[in-house]
Amino acid sequence: MTRLLTIRDVQRIIQQTGIEACFQSLVDSLEKDFSHWHDFQKMPRIANHFPHGVIELMPICGKDYYAYKYVNGHPYNPQKNKLTVIATGMLADIETGYPVLISEMTLLTALRT
């Protein structure tokens, strides 16, 4: 079964865990993943540029999971009362191809940045 993580879910996790603990967990995960960087199948992000913005797809996979992040950058969106950056992601099981998690990642992108 695929789990869906919404912005409210992310906000609740941060509120329950605390922002400092979330940042520390993020740093710990990044350090662990970078120490195994050679184990990942990587490719450059795929970027499609338009006069009004850019849409990027960032795929990566390890031995068990495939993941991607979809993110945009549309600098004129605030004039339309919309966010400049929106991000989503998916994590899939490589053995079956089934999605394990679909996540709203706008807030997570802001935290990582």
State the pLDDT at residue 96: 97
Domain range for residue 99?
3-112
In whole angstroms, how large is the CA radius of gyration of the chain?
15
Least confident range from 14-28, 41-55, 91-105: namely 14-28
Alpha-carbon gap, residue 69 to 89, rounded angstroms: 4
Q: Is the pLDDT of residue 109 over 90?
A: no
The dihedral formed by the CA atoms of 20, 29, 100 and 1, expressed in degrees to the nearest 10: -50
pTM above 0.85, yes or no: no
Structure tokens at 107: 């807030």
State the pLDDT at residue 103: 95
Angle made by CA atoms 35, 41, 45, in degrees to the nearest 5: 100
Q: Is the pLDDT of residue 66 over 90?
A: yes
State the pLDDT at residue 34: 84
CATH of the domain at 52: 3.30.1780.10
Structure tokens at 22: 């979330």
Q: Is the pLDDT of residue 2 over 80?
A: yes
Structural domain count of the chain? 1
